[in-house]
Structure 1
């Protein structure tokens, strides 16, 4: 007979709650004030802990930012997205799905990523965190490209590598910032345009029907 797992102690629960409060405070302050303008003391005050606790739990601002980015790349939503990509077997439906998934992710993370991009030019540690986000996103696009290639759906002259590049060109955060910030497009407008543009750019004629 298998023994029941021991209940979690109050100390472990408190540690988890403290870590969550610090991460939430850091994300909120990074978005509102920017990375460089946010001080550890402000994060501590918002999370209602001592500054030393912020360093102990998160490793300071860089550690907190990296943890936030890594958490976003390993969240349950990401796991579900990967599973759905692998399950869809109709090319245009797959394009519709990845467009909607990136639109939803951008809506959730654009505030933080805007500050990360702004800070990356001046801070190597922030560039490392940005690279983690980019690698995760590009990995997802490569999976989509591979699925389309396996279906035989890619248009002539577009292989898996070029398809990955085209998905990145249209769906990376920088492309979303151009459409929303520079052009003033709504996310609905952007999503509709992306489905049409990527269907034309990626799919062979016979694979473009809904």
Structure 2
């Protein structure tokens, strides 16, 4: 007799043993996650160039060959980290929320909040990417993946505002996407945080005033 209890297959009332294939797959997934988490921590703590593959392997408790197999070296791990973030389930849900939005003001606040959150999570690592990119083409490619992921989301936002008929007179979707990039890219957040000393709360509040004025015209709803 077969059944399912809490998602666990049952045979004759007893949980079925995991197959060797399933166990290998789970071990491979856990190993990959451990390597990526370790790489991100070390890149952030001591810098991309100062981090060695052997250090990642030791901290993740795997052989260096396993690190190369998972990511193809440091640049591969960095690219995988960024691609994983860009293609995450959270980003997919955000894009769905953008495309479903019906209130322009809410849509702008949604995107501002999302970029503020992502910047808070990734800014330390992105500093390392920006520092290493001029000297290493593979790191530049990883940075471009991150930038294109954000630009793609901002284009979707601009297109949605246009579809709602919300953009101010004389502004088209392409120009709106450029304005969103100007205010919401990592470089803009770094300027506000590093050069002006603004905490993220102040930056978010300011963006929620400026962007509706820039994109929609008039004053934002209070």
TM-score (norm 1): 0.94
Give the structure 1 partner of residue 105 of structure 2: 92
Structure 2, unmatched stretches of 5+, are 1-8, 10-17
| Residues 162-192 of structure 1: per-residue CA shift (max 9 Å, x gap) | 1000000000000001111111111110000
Q: How many Å separate the matches in 1 of 2:221 and 2:44?
A: 41
How far 1:111 moved relative to its partner?
A: 1.2
Give the structure 1 partner of residue 81 of structure 2: 68
Q: How many Å separate the matches in 2 of 1:189 and 1:59?
A: 40
Q: How many Å separate the matches in 2 of 1:37 and 1:152?
A: 50
Give the structure 2 partner of residue 29 of structure 1: 42
Q: Give me the CA root mean square deviation.
A: 1.6
Matched, 1:209 2:221: yes
Q: How many Å separate the matches in 2 of 1:209 and 1:68?
A: 38
Rg (Cα) greater in structure: 2
Are the counterparts in 2 of residues 36 and 119 from structure 1 also a CA contact under 8 Å?
yes
Are the counterparts in 2 of residues 95 and 195 from structure 1 also a CA contact under 8 Å?
yes
Are the counterparts in 1 of residues 209 and 220 from structure 2 also a CA contact under 8 Å?
no
Matched, 1:39 2:56: no
Are the counterparts in 2 of residues 91 and 208 from structure 1 also a CA contact under 8 Å?
no
2:65 is aligned, of 46, 49, 52, to 52
How far 1:9 moved relative to its partner?
A: 2.4
Matched, 1:139 2:152: yes
> Could you say which structure has the higher helix fraction?
1
Give the structure 1 partner of residue 5 of structure 2: none
How far 1:53 moved relative to its partner?
A: 1.1
Q: Which runs of 4+ in 1 moved over 3 A?
A: 207-210
How far 1:55 moved relative to its partner?
A: 0.7
3-state SS of paired residue (1:9): helix
Q: How many Å separate the matches in 1 of 2:88 and 2:79?
A: 14
Structure 1, unmatched stretches of 5+, are none
Give the structure 2 partner of residue 184 of structure 1: 197
Q: How many Å separate the matches in 1 of 2:56 and 2:179?
A: 39
TM-score (norm 2): 0.89
Q: How many residues align?
A: 206
| Residues 116-163 of structure 1: per-residue CA shift (max 9 Å, x gap) | 111111111100000001111000000110011111111122111110
